[in-house]
Structure 1
């Protein structure tokens, strides 16, 4: 299905699932990827949560996020081991059965050699009733979409492939535009002027990001807006403030 282009703001949340993320044993690589990916589509990633492999925590997070945002994306916990419980938790959140899905079974039986579609691997073919499959071109075990929740693998290459499969089905909003102004001064020196500019241009988001090089502080100021004219006006005001304070 072709993405529906809309001027409305489309929002998303990302739910990262797994004890290995919280313990630091695995370093997450999916948050930054998804933020960039959704921004390019015109979807605002508005919240990220990380929860352990505890069913009650996953259910609570899924139910809280799916009522708050246009879309929810999850990663992790749909593998073949006993602690991969995301499918069970999402089925519980939607109060539907979790069963071996004939579509998923057919995909995986075709993928594995005879006798290799073991009971552990069959766990990855369990899909909540009523869900659609998300194609997995890397390792074949599908993700799934139920309601506005998209359940994907935690392995970055697989998660990214699943996002490519999901993207054409998503409604998208008007993209956020940005301009960057470099200030050869510490953040504190320009903070008051930036606050005034933000107040004067309420349809923008202005962020300042300090950097220290050889003991000298500089600041990158990023102005964001969905309206090109408003963005240009705010960026001009920021550039003027930088020039005034530099002089």
Structure 2
């Protein structure tokens, strides 16, 4: 499906057997999505693949051909199963080399000769650029439209600081929430659908909640035109009210 004019998109590739096994819970996707949104980039797709070269290459080539940017997380450490750099280099058809700045930083940190395992983290593909790591350890890298970042959440978030300024984003998305309490989705479906059909350039979604304090739904309206977002929000509140729904609260973001 073709993207709308002026919309900048990204895909995320999460790499690691530990994610697929359930042993480690991914938290990076949410952080990346929020950071991309600030820069006017829509996260359009996320995939998770194992530590297998062929799987990484196939997913990466599909994502980088389809979206403006790709961010990968995981698999750039010192152990034998950290194969992301190798797979990315193979996907781009280039060789890996030990970046002198990374080696120098390693030698300064650990002193003397850097062992073979650590030297693995100094390799980046030919033509790549470094992505700073302000937390600890070696940096990530950028090649083509692909940012290769660490999988450790704190380190990944640090690397994201050096990603944002490189993005040529579109208009940022404006979000409004209409909180409906004490009504189920069956009651709000018709008003929500009517407003969604009237504003096809926007995204409208219903996110129900249940708990000790009651139940209801957060109705989220998202769009790039501020005036349209405001108009749609007002229309939705009016339609809900006309449907007999009384407990409605407008939330600005």
Could you tell me how far apart the structure 1 residues matched to 2:8 and 2:41 are? 5
Q: Counterpart of 1:56?
A: 54
2:202, 2:223 within 8 Å by CA — same for their partners in 1?
A: yes
1:203, 1:230 within 8 Å by CA — same for their partners in 2?
A: no
Q: Counterpart of 2:171?
A: 174
1:238 is matched with which residue: 236, 243, 246?
Answer: 236
Stretches of structure 1 lacking an aligned partner (at least 5 in a row): 1-6
SS in 2 for 1:202: coil
The normalised TM-score by structure 1 is 0.93
Q: Counterpart of 2:207?
A: 209
Determine whether 1:148 maps to 2:145: yes
Q: Counterpart of 1:188?
A: 186
1:123 is matched with which residue: 112, 120, 123?
Answer: 120
SS in 1 for 2:70: strand
1:70 is matched with which residue: 63, 68, 73?
Answer: 68
SS in 1 for 2:162: helix
| CA displacement at 1:16 relative to structure 2 | 0.4
Q: Deviations over 1:75-116 (max 9, x none)?
A: 00000000000000000000101122223222222222224x
Q: Counterpart of 2:21?
A: 23
Aligned residues: 240
Q: Deviations over 1:172-230 (max 9, x none)?
A: 21000011112231111110221111111112111011112349531111111100111
Q: Counterpart of 2:250?
A: none
Could you tell me how far apart the structure 1 residues matched to 2:211 and 2:103 are? 56
Q: Deviations over 1:64-85 (max 9, x none)?
A: 0001111000000000000000
2:131, 2:159 within 8 Å by CA — same for their partners in 1?
A: yes
| CA displacement at 1:168 relative to structure 2 | 1.3
Stretches of structure 2 lacking an aligned partner (at least 5 in a row): 247-253
Q: Counterpart of 2:100?
A: 102
2:102, 2:138 within 8 Å by CA — same for their partners in 1?
A: yes
Instruction: Name whichever of 210-219 and 200-209 sits farther off.
Output: 210-219
Could you tell me how far apart the structure 2 residues matched to 1:178 and 1:137 are? 31
2:35, 2:164 within 8 Å by CA — same for their partners in 1?
A: no
Instruction: Name whichever of 102-111 and 131-140 sits farther off.
Output: 102-111
The normalised TM-score by structure 2 is 0.91
SS in 2 for 1:224: strand
